[in-house]
Amino acid sequence: MTEALPDGWTTATIGELCEVNPRHFTIPVEDDDLISKVPMAAVEAESGRMDSSETIHAGDRKSLTPFQEDDVLFAKVTPCMENGKIAVAANLHGGRAVGSTEFFVLRSTGAIDPRLLMYYLLQPRIRKAAAQAMTGAVGLRRVPRSYLEALELPLPPITEQQRIIAALEDHLSHLEEAMKYFENSVRKVTTLSQSVSSRAVSGSLVDFRAPGSGEELRSAALAQRALIVPKRRRQPSAIGAPFPTSVPAHWTVVALDELATSIEYGTSAKTRSQELPDDVPVLRMGNIQHGRLDVTSLKYLPAGHADAEKLMLTDGDLLFNRTNSAELVGKTAVYREQLGPMTFASYLIRCQFVSGVIPEWVSLVINSIYGRQYISAVSSQQVGQANVNGTKLAAMPIPLPPTEEQEYILSAVDGFKSKADHFADILALSRSRGMNMRGSLLEAAFNGKLAPQDPNDEPASALLERIAAERSALRKPARVRRAASTRTAPEHTNRIPSGTQEELPL
């Protein structure tokens, strides 16, 4: 370390300050003793907290990693280390525990407070450097023990450590309260957005009625559809379920298929990540985010590929994600031509609608809580993924107001979402600043700027020397092996005579 240290500070490596992975408890256990069991999931990311409520009999611990109260746990495997799964063991059953074999256990020898060590390791720059030192196969990389033991850190006097910890935890507690406020605010915005969508599609968001009725629009849609769709699709699908709430009397509820001229799957052709001249972007399920298309990450098909022309998107095409996790399957967005020429992948379904039906209205219904209820009811599970096929999508109930009313409601929803997005951006920025402030506080703790120095404190180097001397004195002296005996036999010993022994008489 090249930075100038405050008076009384020194530097030391973790290997000098701690036992790494001690194999035994300070107080032995019996096989029938209950101790805590701490899997990786029980350690929170970045907070330094852990859940030690699960217990196990000591005799059942097998090859799990042993540790005890005040030991520091450091997740060595990716992505747990990068996520900050680092904690001081506390509130253990009987003061002892076993945990994941993916933990390093650091037991202070007395020169560093375990909490200060934890905060040092939680620093983003320390975790970033440790990630760069990882070894092993991709997806299962680990921090080497040798790297951790050689990691050098600034060491304040032990009494100053207590002052630093007190100041740091006071600042962090206030910061954590602010972060909780941000998280709660984000949840409230999300809940309010869902409420706006559900009220919009049930007709209770605005006090406006357009001329005409939903039934008139339905009749016009069916007539228009009959002129476009092939004969085999002339008869539209029936509604698969009733719409779960009431709608205004002049609205009607129809199956999505009654409004659609086309429902088709996307391309399964192999795409490439590197864009070449004239390539066509391919929208995938990850490009649908929060009811909109996010085109920051795209794959590409050659312009001459058959699917690039056959499945080229047109203005107003609705894209429905047919396969994904149970939480994400069914997410929907509308393509507009301002995005440029694009096609779509096989995990998406394209719906094209008759005139008079605004695609964003159908998308709003599908993404609402009522649309989610239908998707949850009809989706099938396949190898951990949920699936909603085109037939089930075609039968989805869609509340249908007159076209002018669709436009008016969508305008009101857009106005609210614009304000909600602005507020969410402010919250995201505030949260980011809070995370940066946390990093700055941790950094300040280790450069002497967070707590006052006291010239009367015992220097950290003196404490290190004293602890080293005490540990040296406690070590057992090496056992001296005795040399083989070279004593001669006493004079009175009866020696065996040399020569040939006479035959014994029988």
Three-class HEC string of 354-401: CCCCCHHHHHHHHHCHHHHHHHHHHCEEECCEEECCHHHHHCCEEEEC
The CATH number that applies at residue 313 is 3.90.220.20
Number of residues written out for the chain: 506
- pLDDT score at 479: 58
- The residue with tokens 């002296």 is 477
The answer to whether 118 and 87 are in contact (CB under 8 A) is: yes
Domain count within the chain: 3
The answer to whether 80 and 102 are in contact (CB under 8 A) is: yes
Taking only the tens place, the pLDDT of each residue in 307-316 is: 988 999 999 9
Whether residue 495 lies inside any domain: the answer is: no
Which uninterrupted H or E stretch holds 423? helix 403-445
Global confidence as pTM: 0.73
- pLDDT score at 480: 54
**Residue 130 sits in the same domain as residue 81:** yes
Judged by average pLDDT, the poorest of 234-238, 317-321, 368-372, 493-497 is 493-497
Residue 184 confidence class, pLDDT cut points 50, 70, 90: very high
CA distance 118 to 98: 19
**Residue 229 sits in the same domain as residue 337:** yes
**Residue 334 sits in the same domain as residue 270:** yes
- Residue 503 in this model has a pLDDT that exceeds 50: no
The mean per-residue pLDDT over the stretch 279-302 comes to 95
The mean per-residue pLDDT over the stretch 147-160 comes to 96
- pLDDT score at 482: 58
Residue 470 confidence class, pLDDT cut points 50, 70, 90: confident
CA distance 340 to 350: 17
**Residue 39 sits in the same domain as residue 167:** no
> What does residue 331 show for φ and ψ, rounded to 5 degrees?
-65, 145
Which residues make beta-bridge pairs with 66?
98
- pLDDT score at 476: 58
Which uninterrupted H or E stretch holds 191? helix 158-201
**Residue 388 sits in the same domain as residue 419:** no
The mean per-residue pLDDT over the stretch 168-191 comes to 92
Whether residue 2 lies inside any domain: the answer is: no
Whether a cis peptide bond, with omega within 30° of 0, leads into 156 is: no
**Residue 22: CB partners within 8 Å, gap ≥ 6?**
66, 67, 71, 105, 107
Judged by average pLDDT, the poorest of 183-197, 327-341, 400-414 is 183-197
- pLDDT score at 489: 47
Contacts 24+ apart (CB under 8 A), 371-379: 371/201, 371/330, 371/332, 371/396, 372/330, 373/244, 374/240, 374/241, 375/329, 375/330, 376/326, 377/241, 378/240, 378/241, 379/326, 379/329, 379/330
Could you say which of 124, 141, 157 is where a domain stops?
Answer: 157
- pLDDT score at 299: 95
The answer to whether 302 and 279 are in contact (CB under 8 A) is: yes
The mean per-residue pLDDT over the stretch 119-141 comes to 93
**Residue 128 sits in the same domain as residue 22:** yes
**Residue 299 sits in the same domain as residue 348:** yes
Whether residue 93 lies inside any domain: the answer is: yes
**Residue 306 sits in the same domain as residue 418:** no
Could you say which of 386, 401, 416 is where a domain stops?
Answer: 401
Whether residue 331 lies inside any domain: the answer is: yes
CA distance 227 to 365: 26
Residue 501 confidence class, pLDDT cut points 50, 70, 90: very low
- pLDDT score at 409: 98
The mean per-residue pLDDT over the stretch 167-182 comes to 93
Whether residue 465 lies inside any domain: the answer is: no
Whether residue 504 lies inside any domain: the answer is: no
Q: What percent of the chain has pLDDT over 90?
A: 82
Collapse the DSSP code of 133 into the 3-class scheme (helix H, G, I; strand E, B; otherwise coil) and give the result: coil
- pLDDT score at 384: 82
Whether residue 500 lies inside any domain: the answer is: no
The answer to whether 332 and 367 are in contact (CB under 8 A) is: yes
- pLDDT score at 161: 97
Pure H helices in 1-143: 14-17, 80-83, 114-122, 124-132
Whether residue 321 lies inside any domain: the answer is: yes
Per the structure, the complete domain to which residue 336 belongs is given by 212-401
Which pair of tokens denotes residue 505?
């008489």
Q: What percent of the chain has pLDDT over 70?
A: 93
**Residue 94 sits in the same domain as residue 43:** yes
**Residue 259 sits in the same domain as residue 288:** yes
- pLDDT score at 155: 97
- pLDDT score at 497: 44
- Residue 355 in this model has a pLDDT that exceeds 90: yes
- Residue 491 in this model has a pLDDT that exceeds 80: no
Could you say which of 384, 401, 418 is where a domain stops?
Answer: 401
- pLDDT score at 502: 42
**Residue 167 sits in the same domain as residue 144:** no
**Residue 158: CB partners within 8 Å, gap ≥ 6?**
111, 112, 113, 457, 458, 460, 463
The mean per-residue pLDDT over the stretch 39-56 comes to 96
What mean pLDDT, rounded, does the chain reach?
91
Collapse the DSSP code of 440 into the 3-class scheme (helix H, G, I; strand E, B; otherwise coil) and give the result: helix
**Residue 104 sits in the same domain as residue 249:** no
Residue 478 confidence class, pLDDT cut points 50, 70, 90: low
Residue 483 confidence class, pLDDT cut points 50, 70, 90: low
The mean per-residue pLDDT over the stretch 474-493 comes to 55
